[in-house]
Amino acid sequence: MSHRFSEYRYQNGDLWVEQVRLKDLAQAYGTPLYVYSLSAIEGQIQRLQKGLAPLNHLICYAVKANSNINLLRKIVDNGCGLDLVSGGELFRAHRIKAPAEKIVFSGVGKTATEIKMALSYQGTGIKSLHVESVEEARLINQLASELKLQASICVRFNPNVDPKTHPYISTGLHSNKFGLNREEILDLAEEMKELKHLKWHGLSIHIGSQILELSPFEQAYLDVLKLAHDLRQKYSLPINCLDLGGGVGVPYRQGEVAPSIEDYTALICRLFEKEPFQILIEPGRNLVANSGVLLTRVLYRKPRPLKDFLVVDASMAELIRPCLYEAYHDVWPLEEKQTKNEMKQTDIVGPVCESSDFLAQNRDFPISLSQGDFVAVMSAGAYGFSMSGQFNSRPRVAEILVSSTQAQVIRRRETFDDLTREEML
């Protein structure tokens, strides 16, 4: 149908992913149900690797986009490292034995416990703790001293670049909580004489998410490159690694133009090919968003004069992006014939007791869709399951990974018992 979804297409009247019919999965495993295509994820990784081949590079997948350990293992098996933001994510890395030298850890609020976990990961400690404040640098130094080791760090630079994305996912402005500005970083460089247990070997940036133009990236890359050279020359710091972060957007709607992986990697190669730095990138959404769908079943139609409500069995508890950022997701019926029927303005809403519980609003949607029919909420592979919860005491849903003709359950559906397991009477 569209190149946005390399592995999703209508065939003989039904929507398929790779060589599997989605209706068969909905019937076998129930709904709501997350389904991912391995081939779609591996395709994105291969395009990035091909584009960055001229550079000494490492792709560190941003685990928070979709943190299922089965997916993480496959992403690591494809040569990627991991970008983490919590001790829980470090535990996931440990569960799949992800190699220490390919792990970086970002985040403004790392606790002492998390820092110690990272410093002792696999005995050697991870490749880099990405420091986001002066106080954090001092704490890492102190903990490394107690553990009698050197902590390998990058410092996260906030380049004050406007990524022109939704304010809630913009991170590279001085008005955001992330990173340190140039003056703060130069002051930290002065203080390094006293921070003898820090091995400062790089800089990182990450200016936001779902960025649809390359120009903010270029500006931020030029700024971090200049700062890296200044730190090498004026402070003799052995900066040999630049982590350019993630944030490259993907098309969620038909006709939406996002940077191609080829243009994005060409920009990076143009700016860094002759530079003495290992280049890291931290893609999250770009690897997984359009690989996944959320399957859901129609429960009821509420006809209204101007706009119908279609109540489905998935909600903001399973996919919070529409509610949180008014994010747009295409919704496709699993039966192709529905797409040819008469349309009416429709809101697709969930069962949760919040008016913000919608998956799609004001869409032209087939009137023929009725109780028992299935639809696929498209582009749900990133920030879908990983942001899901149990609000309204809804057990978290199952996740399926499809590869060719095979479908594997990579997370079982939670039961009612799971809801109260940790509670005490």
Ligand X SMILES: *Cc1c(COP(=O)(O)O)cnc(C)c1O
Contact between 133 and 157 under an 8 Å Cβ cutoff? The reply is no
Contact between 266 and 6 under an 8 Å Cβ cutoff? The reply is no
Q: Does 202 bind ligand X (CB under 6 A)?
A: no
> Which of 220, 398 has the CB closer to ligand X?
220
Q: Binding string to ligand X for residues 322 to 361, with x set by CB under 6 A, is what?
A: ----------------------------------------
Q: Of 68, 286, 315, 338, which lies in the binding site for ligand X, with binding defined by CB under 6 A? A: 286
Task: Write the secondary structure of 34-72 as one string of H (helix), E (strand) and C (coil).
Answer: EEEEHHHHHHHHHHHHHHHCCCCEEEEEEHHHCCCHHHH
Q: Does 165 bind ligand X (CB under 6 A)?
A: no
Span of 27-35, 60-68, 182-190, 366-374 interacting with ligand X by CB under 6 A? 60-68
Among 8, 4, 3, 2, CA closest to 295: 8
- The type of residue at 38 is L
Among 375, 251, 271, 267, CA closest to 313: 375
Q: Which helix (H) or strand (E) holds 74?
A: helix 69-77
> Which of 94, 166 has the CB closer to ligand X?
166
Span of 48-56, 185-193, 242-250, 390-398 interacting with ligand X by CB under 6 A? 242-250
Give the pair of three-digit tokens for residue 272. Answer: 């860094």
Q: Binding string to ligand X for residues 206 to 225, with x set by CB under 6 A, is what?
A: x--x----------------
Q: Which helix (H) or strand (E) holds 137?
A: helix 134-146
Q: Does 161 bind ligand X (CB under 6 A)?
A: no
Residues 78-137 that bind ligand X (CB under 6 A): 83, 85, 106
Site size for ligand X, by CB under 6 A? 16
Catalytic positions, please? 353
Q: Which helix (H) or strand (E) holds 11?
A: strand 8-11
Q: Binding string to ligand X for residues 69 to 88, with x set by CB under 6 A, is what?
A: --------------x-x---
- Nearest distance, CB of residue 406 and ligand X, angstroms: 27
> Which of 206, 297 has the CB closer to ligand X?
206
In the numeric block, the tokens 């004489």 are attached to 193
Among 171, 244, 175, 168, CA closest to 203: 244
Span of 38-46, 134-142, 277-285, 290-298 interacting with ligand X by CB under 6 A? 277-285
Taking the alpha carbons at both ends of the chain, their separation in whole angstroms is 53
Q: Of 259, 284, 292, 366, which lies in the binding site for ligand X, with binding defined by CB under 6 A? A: 284
Q: Does 245 bind ligand X (CB under 6 A)?
A: yes
> Which of 64, 297 has the CB closer to ligand X?
64
> Which of 246, 322 has the CB closer to ligand X?
246
Q: Does 41 bind ligand X (CB under 6 A)?
A: no
- Nearest distance, CB of residue 108 and ligand X, angstroms: 10
Rounded Cα distance, 389 and 391, in Å: 6
Q: Does 321 bind ligand X (CB under 6 A)?
A: no
Rounded Cα distance, 184 and 181, in Å: 5
* Strand partners for 98: none
Contact between 386 and 65 under an 8 Å Cβ cutoff? The reply is yes
The residues of the shown chain that bind ligand X, judged by CB under 6 A, are 62, 64-65, 83, 85, 106, 206, 209, 245-247, 282-286
